[in-house]
Structure 1
């Protein structure tokens, strides 16, 4: 057990003109988050990389040579992990990262600057992948307003849209992993996905902050429309 003497001191952020209390608290949380520090040491672009690593270790979502889509990929932590796991860095598999934001290159990753809601996105994506996807990932979150119900509804709207996109690009048997927030409607998405996937569940990796409403919905065994 760590002694009081050896325990790292908690970083406290000083109040600054123009910085809101919410911004101050967020910055303090980042500076004191062990996953943030570890991500810097390990070369990951975000602490979210550890969430995907844990979930892939548990559910074996990414096989060497797989075709993977990362929606809303910036800053690229999940794309980094996926590229390593499918072997894209060595020319195995294909990984397309989609985002409107600019993102520095990642070895083995095709970055598509496109709104995934664009009607042409599925066809452009499959052309880059060389076929339908084995896995669609989404760690997207709308900009937080600070109002819990509003933030919940906004991220659930993104999740529902991502799920519909996944239905358009997944190969039969494929999987979909997407961030959601607890708030009352997350069960509706789960039930909706059960019509098209053999197994659907909520999962919460240990790298998710304990006080966060964040969850992930995992849907495996995609059934195309008309199957079942």
Structure 2
């Protein structure tokens, strides 16, 4: 299929992106690694020994950051519908985290430990129709929140990507009903023109 002018412009911007170049240089799988690094530097989420669940983990940039920061005593469990190349000390489960079989695998890995952080940088395949894409994005965020309610320890945290637009305020209310504190983060590695934000909820109500 012939590339459109828009996709060519995106590819040119992507190749010249400072964070894309830094990711290649430093061995990160995606520029998204820098978003998590910045948020964690500020909010200290990835504590040594912590159990972390990475929803929609592929290609693995966030899992790479998480496993380095929680150390050998910690645990990172990555879930995705798509395959992911192995990462040292990261347990990868391929499948839908809403399915019982996948949740059973997760629970087997966690054992008698408690999940301290659920993080989700998930995004759907974009259709180019803003209302449709926004609805899909917020649906993924809601699924992550539902998962967090079921699996986080009481003092745990949930970090999730959202986009400003329809349903954002509704979801923000749901976050505030679920967590004692909720803050908004817009890391430098997020492109300025993007409506992308991250919500961080801490300590379940």
Deviation digits for residues 139-178 of structure 1 (CA, Å, limit 9, x no counterpart): 0000111122221111001000111011111011100001
Give the distance between the partners of 2:204 and 2:107, measured in 1 at CA: 17
Unaligned 5+ runs, structure 2: none
CA contact (8 A) 1:76 1:103 kept: yes
Question: What secondary structure, in the 3-state scheme, does the structure 1 residue paired with 2:177 have?
Answer: coil
Unaligned 5+ runs, structure 1: 1-16, 224-228
Indicate whether 1:20 and 2:4 are aligned: yes
More helix by share: 2
Indicate whether 1:147 and 2:129 are aligned: yes
Question: What secondary structure, in the 3-state scheme, does the structure 1 residue paired with 2:173 have?
Answer: helix
Give the distance between the partners of 1:188 and 1:133, measured in 2 at CA: 26
Give the distance between the partners of 2:166 and 2:6, measured in 1 at CA: 24
| 1:70 aligned residue | 54
If asked which structure has higher relative contact order (CA below 8 Å, sep 6+), I would say: 2
**Higher CA-based Rg:** 1
Question: What secondary structure, in the 3-state scheme, does the structure 1 residue paired with 2:54 have?
Answer: strand
Question: Could you tell me which of 70, 90, 109 is aligned with 1:109?
Answer: 90
| 1:167 aligned residue | 149
Query: TM-score by structure 2 length?
Result: 0.95
Structure 1 residue 121, shift from structure 2 partner: 3.4
Question: What secondary structure, in the 3-state scheme, does the structure 2 residue paired with 1:146 have?
Answer: coil
CA contact (8 A) 2:93 2:102 kept: no
CA contact (8 A) 1:144 1:151 kept: yes
Question: What secondary structure, in the 3-state scheme, does the structure 1 residue paired with 2:39 have?
Answer: helix
Query: TM-score by structure 1 length?
Result: 0.86
Q: Which moved more, 1:167-176 or 1:25-34?
A: 25-34
Give the distance between the partners of 1:82 and 1:195, measured in 2 at CA: 27
* Equivalenced residues, count: 204
Question: Could you tell me which of 67, 72, 75 is aligned with 1:94?
Answer: 75
| 1:181 aligned residue | 163
Give the distance between the partners of 2:6 and 2:106, measured in 1 at CA: 37
| 1:5 aligned residue | none
CA contact (8 A) 2:156 2:204 kept: yes
Give the distance between the partners of 1:37 and 1:58, measured in 2 at CA: 23
Question: Could you tell me which of 105, 110, 120 is aligned with 1:138?
Answer: 120
| 2:69 aligned residue | 85
Question: What secondary structure, in the 3-state scheme, does the structure 1 residue paired with 2:160 have?
Answer: strand
Indicate the RMSD between aligned Cα atoms, in angstroms.
1.2
CA contact (8 A) 1:126 1:169 kept: no
